């Protein structure tokens, strides 16, 4: 089944404790992206990657890191999480970019205490 | 100003009513793409439709239909005979190239639809 998977689905952590949210797609998509969703603010892009080893900042990259060492994986790293990073996070992928349909993972609910 | 405007923040209807969700966009690009996604209470984002700027034909998929009008820069979504399972937040999005010829995806803030039994 074609899908985007994210882990973990739910995470409660404390300020400053490094964490990684994994994202993997099995559709051989070149493009991958991370979003966060907050009430009243909609979906905001954190980082995106057009291909392996090619990543770029989105609209709200501060406090996040990403890497794209393999085509299928695009982990999101929070080196020192803070409470304002409490949010719902989505990973997405598409064949080649924004003109194509993006397929989303199930989301990761993160609470930073 | 919002480039993708979903003016209806919340809509509440009774089951079997028809409901239209509005999406108005703003772009100078000549080749752009429009999308609708559904986010049910469970939280996932489900793709509904993609439309390019050269295809103004309306689309129907079961109880769902989309009306694309370039003249008014609108891409409205209608649910006929709504059902409780249609309760969700619906997002409209626009893919366009910016002044630097970089393609971007711009999201509306969503319309929360509640279908009551």
What is the chain A residue with the closest CA to B38? A104
Mutate to test the interface with A, among B2, B88, B98, B105 (most CBs of A within 10 A): B105
- Put residue B32 in one of left, alpha, beta given phi > 0 → left and psi -120 to 50 → alpha: beta
Please state, for a pLDDT cut of 90, what percent of chain A lies above it. 86
Q: Which residues of chain B are within 8 Å of residue A101 when distances are taken between CB atoms?
A: 35, 47, 50
Strand runs labelled E in A39-79:
42-51, 54-57, 65-66, 76-78
Q: Are A73 and A87 in contact (CB under 8 A)?
A: no
pLDDT band of residue B117 (cuts 50, 70, 90) is: very high
Please state, for a pLDDT cut of 90, what percent of chain B lies above it. 82
pLDDT over 70 (residue B2): no
Average pLDDT along chain B: 93
Please state, for a pLDDT cut of 70, what percent of chain B lies above it. 98
Q: State the first-to-last Cα distance of chain A, in angstroms, to the nearest integer.
A: 36
pLDDT over 80 (residue B99): no
**Residue B32 phi, psi (nearest 5):** -135, 170
Q: Which residues of chain B are within 8 Å of residue A88 when distances are taken between CB atoms?
A: 43
CA B54 to chain CA centroid, Å, is 17
Q: Determine the average pLDDT of the residues in B63-69.
A: 96
Q: Do B107 and A98 touch (CB under 8 A)?
A: no
pLDDT of residue B1: 55
């Amino acid at each position: 089944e074609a899908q985007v998977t994210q882990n973990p689905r739910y995470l409660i952590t404390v300020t400053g404790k490094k964490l990684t949210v994994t994202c993997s797609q099995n559709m051989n998509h070149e493009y991958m992206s991370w979003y966060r969703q907050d009430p009243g603010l909609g979906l905001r892009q954190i980082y995106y990657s057009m291909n392996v080893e090619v990543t770029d900042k989105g609209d709200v990259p501060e406090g996040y890191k990403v890497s794209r060492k393999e085509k299928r994986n695009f982990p999101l790293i929070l080196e020192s999480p803070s409470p304002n990073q409490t949010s719902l996070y989505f990973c997405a992928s598409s064949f080649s970019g924004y003109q194509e349909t993006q397929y989303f993972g199930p989301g990761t609910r993160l609470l930073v205490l | 100003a919002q480039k993708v405007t979903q003016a209806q923040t919340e809509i509440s209807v009774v089951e079997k009513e028809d409901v239209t969700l509005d999406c108005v966009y703003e772009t100078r690009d000549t080749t752009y793409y429009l999308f609708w996604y559904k986010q049910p209470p469970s939280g996932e984002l489900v793709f509904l439709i993609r439309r390019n700027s050269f295809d103004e034909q309306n689309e129907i998929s079961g109880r769902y239909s989309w009306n694309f009008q370039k003249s008014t820069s609108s891409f409205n979504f209608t649910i006929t005979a709504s059902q409780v399972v249609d309760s969700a937040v619906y997002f409209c999005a626009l893919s366009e190239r910016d002044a630097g010829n970089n393609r971007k995806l711009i999201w509306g803030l969503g319309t929360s639809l509640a279908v009551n039994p």
